[in-house]
Amino acid sequence: MTWFEFKSGLRRQLSEEEEIELKALFEAVIDMSDEYEACIARLRATGRFKSIFGAPNARPTNMNTIEAVLSAKERREFPGSVYKTILSMALDHRKPSGLAAAISDYLSDKNPDLRGSHENSLLVPLEALSARKAQIVGTATAGGYLVSGDISSEIEKMLRGASVCVRAGARVLNNLRSDLRIGRETQEVTFEWLSELESVDESSPTYGVCHLSPRRISGFTSMSTQLNAQAPDLSSFVTDSLARGVGAAFDKAALQGTGVAGEPLGLFSRDSVKNVVFGGGATWAKAISFEAQTSGANAVDESIVFVANPNVREKWRNLQRFSGSSTTLWQGNECADRPAFVTTNCPSTSICSGDFSRMVLATWGEGTPVQIIVDPYTSAKGGKLEVVANLMADIGIVREEVFAIGTDSAIQ
């Protein structure tokens, strides 16, 4: 439709000032519609969902599979588009539009089971919930091109900033469609040295399985309409808040999940992990006992790290390794000369260690969609709008025996 066609359909004659304002609004709507259609066309041309933001180390290949999905400008503006769409859905009761709507509709086509039953639902790729420096569309090494493949590395990079377990080495699996069963060898084949003509004894390996199935992670927050009026651009705050929430949910379940009411079973609730009992104040001998137990279970030595509550780090930074020693149990970002991390999602007086590459964080749905539902009604009297975010995920530990936990207080 042209401006003249639109204008001729109006019921009354416009003043010159009204015509200028309405024409500007009409052109903005047309531009938004063109942006929507162009984005949908590019997304559908990929055949299946891949990273919309581009891989930072993407390189051209001999295969003609490299293409730009979003322009640098669109990637830069996407968090703002999500935020504006949430506000528009809540305050103006409009359907999603523009760039955020185009990506949401594409994800809905790929994940029909997540399609919202009402117009106040929006799907956002998990990798988008992170403030990212604008990338250069024409430079492959700057992430401007899309290399054929899935978005696992992008999700892992996003979660690395929000999840201690991912920074400690936990693996991230994405785009799952059905339950995931990871086989594991629980008893290895035994090899032995033999003399000439001596018969080898048979040894049969035994196997187990790590079973992961989709569970719902759900987060809830409210936004003040007054705050939006005072600070209208909260896009980075909103998207980063959702990212931190997802990372914290992963950490809490991975470390101290109860295994009931939909929550995965966490490290501190598992029976087959190794145990270290302090029985008093922490000592250097107890600290290296964690290392000894996990190494003794054939953990990959260079992958062993420590994860503790901040209370433990504070205490252990003041505990000498030996009487009169200038070094402490926790030095800088290391514990017992191993990389060490802290999170309040670890029990308040506890510490654990292990090969975190044997921990798996899995998400379901092509593009790893986060469903955002906007509710402008429930808290309207208080000047707030409510936002609920849902993600289908699970956590599994492939080899429990390569982890060790402190069974009593580490800060006695």
pLDDT digits (tens, 9 = 90+) for 94-107: 777 778 888 888 88
Distance CA 196, CA 190 (A): 19
pLDDT over 90 at 163, yes or no:
no
Q: What is the mean pLDDT of residues 242-257?
A: 89
- How much is the average pLDDT of 169-183? 86
**Residue-wise pLDDT tens digits, 361-395:** 999 988 788 888 888 777 777 777 788 889 999 99
- What's the rounded Cα separation, in Å, for the pair 149 and 151? 7
pLDDT bin (cut points 50, 70, 90) of residue 66 is very low
CA distance 111 to 366: 7
Q: What number is the average pLDDT over the span 46-68?
A: 44
Q: Is the pLDDT of residue 54 over 60?
A: no
Average pLDDT over residues 253-265: 93
Q: pLDDT band at residue 1, thresholds of 50, 70 and 90?
A: low
CA-to-CA separations, 227 to 79, 84, 105, 223, 384, in angstroms, rounded: 18, 14, 29, 8, 9
This prediction has a pTM of 0.73
**According to the model, what pLDDT value does residue 353 have?**
97
- Mean pLDDT, residues 339-360: 95
Confidence of residue 114 (pLDDT cuts 50, 70, 90): confident
Task: Compute the mean pLDDT over every residue in the chain, rounded to the nearest whole number.
Answer: 77
Half-sphere exposure at residue 235, Cβ-oriented, CA atoms within 13 angstroms: 15
What is the per-residue pLDDT for 307?
A: 97
Domains and CATH numbers, the chain: 150-412 (3.30.2400.10)
Q: What is the mean pLDDT of residues 236-240?
A: 70
pLDDT one-digit tens code per residue, 19-30: 787 777 777 766
Q: 117 pLDDT band (50/70/90 cuts)?
A: low
**Range name among 10-19, 148-157, 391-400 with the lowest pLDDT average:** 148-157
